[in-house]
Structure 1
């Protein structure tokens, strides 16, 4: 009995131990399960965090790229605005400074309605030699001629209205109630600006009423300046001693059968000057000159440096280039006025006429344009009296005023010597 009880106790004790072990194992398994679930949750949470971080990085990159693109666009706009607005302001500031520094020796004369023209005279007269520049150019072209002629006569150069340092024609459309001003207004408005009639009227006021230069006059003109000189001589023949026409522009230039000059003038020359005018207004022309892309029109070994600087200044001046455009634009009206005057009144035979042309073609123009110009010059010679003197200058082209001025000087001196001999003879006979 006692043995049986002892065995039962051992069995119960083993069961109890086994139960305790099972509970301990179950508790351990439970803890492991809980730990595994917690680990999985942590892994999942870590993955979610990584996904969020990845999305945030993508957003940051997108926002960063957007900001960089916006910054790039803003930067380009800034540079574009700088290119648009800065050059015109810098050009304007430079023009104001150069206007004072590069002004040539001379005076400004009021020719009416407050419009002032630039005139520079050197030497003593009479006679008075008046030099008139080619189409769209100012008095700088005559620099070398003035230096040589001023020892023998009173030599005057001027800038036509709007060119160089002269003011543009004023637009005065409504006269006041004063009858005299009404009369003056009608007189002033009867000729269009930038035509030969208006140019001659301006010149006559300039050298008579305004500056009172001594007569007689020897008028020297190149290209359009030659038309102005002829027109003046037709109207005021008693004041004119002689004409020297250098590569004269003929009113028949556009009437040739092939019309090459008509097409070139309005299809190439005028648009080119309009482009230069726009470039000057935008300040681009100054940049072109600084970079060497553009060159000033007066070039020669003997051209003074101040003339070169002044020509660059004028190329950057919209007002000057506006007048260059206008002189080209109204050339047909100028030709018509010249033809009409020749029909009404012939040139006085007492006026000595000398025509100078070069035997070299202009290298800047195609051959067919040079040939058409030469034909027009021959047509012009037939319109003068039989005593016209035509000289072909060897080695010269249409730029002879500042590249080979000696023949021009000699042609003027020849007229002066003849006039002085006539005066001596007249004085001897009177005595």
Structure 2
């Protein structure tokens, strides 16, 4: 355990969580460190899994509220934030890191946004003994890619390819600062705390390697279809409470409908799966409509508590 006195994310979150947060790290192969922050104390734990290229601080809007009634853990995947990079980034390496975290902290409710939603689902399939429940927040599904318009795929690829270049020439920090300020605005009205949150977000992308990992994770998402389908084919879905939340705006109509259909399909795989659309929310539901995420997590935790003998 570490109070994280030199960790800007711990400093920022501690201004939002009355009882503060602590920093932990897990040593993985070749001595690389996997860092997470933790708040609250009631079991089962809630593990927050960010979208592609995002970091633990992305959950800052909902983490303080969740910590009022739960032990909450938010971690940085390999190569992002304060976690060391892995020698080769793969879907398997990301699932194995999450499993290792669960082996360390104990069975938990897995809450994943976007790409993190897919990782939560695959981890639940791989380790049902470590999964008490699942909440998927506008999750990525391997079958959505075909519905993304070609122009959008091309533009997204160009943007992702440019990110390391922008970092190298000093422009990426402006992008990170803008995103950090919007995140901070959603967290608090206090200008001093907003500045601390913004600075912590920028610091999470302080190196060229961290920015390059954003691109690598998004490319991994675009190339994982066969691997994910193979994992689904050989895995049994655990009998745990499950919620999937989908956004209602921000996507082309065909993609919006496809996302809705896939969410229904995913919920139907779980004996206790429930799909809900979140009114007036884009992809980042945990920032735009945080109460919907908090309610879903608390509902799953309550049901998980009833499962305990």
Under TM normalisation by the shorter chain, which class is it? 0.7 to 0.9
Specify the alignment match of 1:12 in structure 2: none
Deviation at 1:419, TM superposition (A): 2.7
Specify the alignment match of 2:16 in structure 1: none
Q: Is the CA contact (8 Å cut-off) linking 1:248 and 1:377 kept in structure 2? A: no
Q: Is the CA contact (8 Å cut-off) linking 2:243 and 2:300 kept in structure 1? A: no
Partner Cα separation in structure 1 for residue 127 and residue 181 of structure 2: 32
Alignment partner of 1:236 out of 91, 103, 127: 127
How big is each residue's C-alpha offset from its partner over 1:161-190, in whole Å with a ceiling of 9 and x where there is no partner? 1111111113xxxxxxxxxxxxxxxxxxxx
Q: Is the CA contact (8 Å cut-off) linking 1:253 and 1:373 kept in structure 2? A: no
Partner Cα separation in structure 2 for residue 120 and residue 237 of structure 1: 24
For the pair 1:213 / 2:96, whether they are aligned, the reply is: no
Partner Cα separation in structure 1 for residue 27 and residue 151 of structure 2: 38
How big is each residue's C-alpha offset from its partner over 1:102-146, in whole Å with a ceiling of 9 and x where there is no partner? 242512321121111111111224201110001111111111221
Specify the alignment match of 1:285 in structure 2: 172
Q: Is the CA contact (8 Å cut-off) linking 2:240 and 2:270 kept in structure 1? A: no
Gap change, CA 1:419 and 1:124, over 3 Å in 2: same
Deviation at 1:297, TM superposition (A): 5.9
Give the unaligned 5+ runs of structure 2: 11-21, 189-193
Gap change, CA 1:297 and 1:327, over 3 Å in 2: farther
Partner Cα separation in structure 2 for residue 377 and residue 395 of structure 1: 15
For the pair 1:347 / 2:227, whether they are aligned, the reply is: no
Alignment partner of 2:158 out of 260, 271, 274: 271
| 310-319 or 332-341, which deviates more | 310-319
Partner Cα separation in structure 1 for residue 290 and residue 23 of structure 2: 22
Give the unaligned 5+ runs of structure 1: 1-98, 171-192, 427-431
For the pair 1:388 / 2:276, whether they are aligned, the reply is: no
Say which structure is richer in helix.
1
Specify the alignment match of 1:336 in structure 2: 226
Specify the alignment match of 1:196 in structure 2: 91
Task: For residue 280 of structure 2, give the secondary structure of its aligned residue in structure 1.
Answer: coil
Task: For residue 394 of structure 1, give the secondary structure of its aligned residue in structure 2.
Answer: coil
Alignment partner of 2:43 out of 126, 144, 147: 126
Q: How many residues align?
A: 285
How big is each residue's C-alpha offset from its partner over 1:77-101, in whole Å with a ceiling of 9 and x where there is no partner? xxxxxxxxxxxxxxxxxxxxxx956
Please give the residue correspondences for 1:167-178 in structure 2 after superposition, counting only pairs within 5 Å: 167-170=84-87
| 329-338 or 390-399, which deviates more | 329-338
Partner Cα separation in structure 1 for residue 298 and residue 115 of structure 2: 22
Specify the alignment match of 2:191 in structure 1: none
Partner Cα separation in structure 2 for residue 224 and residue 298 of structure 1: 23
Specify the alignment match of 1:378 in structure 2: 261
Specify the alignment match of 1:307 in structure 2: 197
Structure 1 vs Structure 2 CA RMSD: 2.4
Deviation at 1:282, TM superposition (A): 2.2
For the pair 1:327 / 2:217, whether they are aligned, the reply is: yes
Gap change, CA 1:376 and 1:302, over 3 Å in 2: closer
Specify the alignment match of 1:412 in structure 2: 297
Gap change, CA 1:121 and 1:163, over 3 Å in 2: same
How big is each residue's C-alpha offset from its partner over 1:202-231, in whole Å with a ceiling of 9 and x where there is no partner? 1112332xxx2132x100001100000000
For the pair 1:249 / 2:174, whether they are aligned, the reply is: no
What TM-score, normalized to structure 2? 0.83
Deviation at 1:232, TM superposition (A): 0.4
Higher alpha-carbon Rg: 1
Gap change, CA 1:125 and 1:302, over 3 Å in 2: same
Specify the alignment match of 1:92 in structure 2: none
Partner Cα separation in structure 1 for residue 257 and residue 187 of structure 2: 27
Specify the alignment match of 1:223 in structure 2: 114
Gap change, CA 1:120 and 1:316, over 3 Å in 2: closer
